[in-house]
Amino acid sequence: MLFYFDLIYNFRPCSLIYKTPWLFLLSLVVMLMVQDEETGSWYQHRGRDFKVPLIDYLQDDGNIVGAKKGLGTWPGPLGQISNMLLKPEAANSKEDIGELSVQKRGLQGFYEEQAVVKEILVDNLVSVSVRHCLETAKNLLYIETDLPGDVIVHWGICKDDGKTWEIPSEPYPPETSMFKDKALRTLLQRKNGGHGSLGSFILDEGSVAFVFVLKLNENTWLNCHGNDFCIPLSSFSVPPIHSGQPHSEDEEQNNESGSLLISGNASEANQEVSAYTDEIIDEIRNLVTDISSEKNRKTKSKKAQESILQEIEKLAAEAYSIFRSSIPTFTETDLLEEEALEPPVKISSGTGSGFEILCQGFNWESHKSGKWYIDLREKASKLASLGFTVLWLPPPTDSVSSEGYMPRDLYNLNSRLTNVKMHPLTFQGRGNKSSGDNFHAAPNIDHSQEFVRKDIKEWLHWLREEIGYDGWRLDFVRGFWGGYVKDYIEATEPYFAVGEYWDSLSYTYGEMDHNQDAHRQRIIDWINATNGTAGAFDVTTKGILHSALERCEYWRLSDEKGKPPGVVGWWPSRAVTFIENHDTGSTQGHWRFPGGKEIQGYAYILTHPGTPSVFYDHIFSEYQSEISTLISIRNRNKIQCRSTVQIMKAERDVYAAMTDEKVVMKIGPGHYEPSNGSRNWSLVAEGRDYKIWETS
What is the chain's percent helix, strand, coil content, to nearest 5? Answer: 30, 25, 50
Instruction: Look up the CATH number of domain 358-391+469-643.
Output: 3.20.20.80
Residue 419 has pLDDT above 70, yes or no: no
Residues contacting residue 175 through CB under 8 Å, at least 6 positions apart: 186, 187, 189
Q: What band does 653 get if pLDDT is binned at 50, 70 and 90?
A: very high
Residue 332 has pLDDT above 60, yes or no: no
**Which one is predicted more confidently, 217 or 502?**
502
Cβ(236)–Cβ(131) below 8 Å:
yes
Q: Specify the pLDDT at position 382.
A: 93
Residue 499 has pLDDT above 70, yes or no: yes
SS3 154: strand
SS3 648: strand
- The DSSP string of 67-95 is -SS---PPSTHHHHHHHHHT--TT--SGG
Q: What band does 412 get if pLDDT is binned at 50, 70 and 90?
A: confident
The amino acid occupying position 314 is K
Residues contacting residue 170 through CB under 8 Å, at least 6 positions apart: 515, 517
Q: Where along the chain do its domains lie?
A: 2-97, 126-236, 264-329, 358-391+469-643
Out of 4-13, 317-326, 513-522, 616-625, least confident range = 4-13
Residue 597 φ then ψ, to 5°: -115, 15
Out of 376-390, 399-413, 664-678, 681-695, least confident range = 399-413
The CA distance from 525 to 535, in Å, is 11
Q: What band does 367 get if pLDDT is binned at 50, 70 and 90?
A: confident
Nearest one of 341, 319, 234, 316 to 270, comparing CA atoms: 319
Q: What band does 218 get if pLDDT is binned at 50, 70 and 90?
A: confident
The mean pLDDT of the chain is: 75
Residue 427 has pLDDT above 50, yes or no: no
Q: What band does 316 get if pLDDT is binned at 50, 70 and 90?
A: low
Out of 1.10.10, 1.20.120, 1.10.3470, 2.60.40, which CATH number does the structure's domain 126-236 have? 2.60.40
User: pLDDT over 90 for what percent of the chain?
Assistant: 38
Q: What band does 322 get if pLDDT is binned at 50, 70 and 90?
A: low
The CA distance from 668 to 511, in Å, is 20
Q: Specify the pLDDT at position 371.
A: 85
Q: What band does 132 get if pLDDT is binned at 50, 70 and 90?
A: confident
**Which one is predicted more confidently, 433 or 576?**
576
**Which one is predicted more confidently, 459 or 203?**
459
Q: Specify the pLDDT at position 500.
A: 96
The string over 28-45, giving b where at least 16 C-beta atoms fall within 10 Å of a residue's C-beta and e elsewhere, is bbbebbbeeeeeeeebeb
The CA distance from 1 to 36, in Å, is 5
Arithmetic mean of pLDDT, 523-550: 95
User: pLDDT over 70 for what percent of the chain?
Assistant: 61
The CA distance from 408 to 424, in Å, is 9
The CA distance from 242 to 232, in Å, is 26
Q: Specify the pLDDT at position 178.
A: 85
> DSSP code of 121?
-
Arithmetic mean of pLDDT, 599-617: 97
SS3 59: coil
Question: Is the pTM higher than 0.85?
Answer: no
Mutual angle of helices 372-386 and 624-636, in 10-degree steps: 50
**Which one is predicted more confidently, 218 or 81?**
218
Which tens digit of pLDDT belongs to each residue from 243-276? 333 333 333 333 333 333 333 343 444 444 455 5
Q: Specify the pLDDT at position 52.
A: 65
Residue 1 has pLDDT above 50, yes or no: no
Residue 593 has pLDDT above 90, yes or no: yes
Arithmetic mean of pLDDT, 302-313: 67
Q: What band does 237 get if pLDDT is binned at 50, 70 and 90?
A: very low
Residues contacting residue 131 through CB under 8 Å, at least 6 positions apart: 139, 140, 236, 253, 254, 255
Which tens digit of pLDDT belongs to each residue from 86-131? 444 444 444 444 444 444 444 455 555 555 555 666 678 888 888 8
Active site residues: 475, 500
Q: List, in sequence order, the alpha helices (H) in 446-516.
A: 450-462, 482-492
C-alpha angle 679-682-687 in degrees, rounded to nearest 5:
140
The CA distance from 254 to 249, in Å, is 6
Cβ(582)–Cβ(364) below 8 Å:
yes
Arithmetic mean of pLDDT, 62-75: 46
The string over 363-382, giving b where at least 16 C-beta atoms fall within 10 Å of a residue's C-beta and e elsewhere, is bbebbeeeebbeebeeeeee
Q: Specify the pLDDT at position 344.
A: 61
Residue 470 has pLDDT above 90, yes or no: yes
Residues contacting residue 334 through CB under 8 Å, at least 6 positions apart: 261, 263
Computed from CA positions of residues 436, 441, 443, 447, in that sequence, does the dihedral angle turn out positive or negative?
negative
Out of 147-161, 245-259, 525-539, least confident range = 245-259
- Give the Cβ contact number of residue 549 at 10 Å: 25
Instruction: Identify the burial level of 246 via C-beta atoms within 10 angstroms of its C-beta, where 0-12 means exposed, 13-18 middle and 19 or more buried.
Output: middle
Cβ(429)–Cβ(449) below 8 Å:
yes
Out of 163-177, 259-273, 602-616, least confident range = 259-273
Which tens digit of pLDDT belongs to each residue from 7-54? 444 444 443 333 334 444 444 566 666 666 666 666 666 666 666 665
Are 126-236 and 358-391+469-643 equal in CATH topology?
no
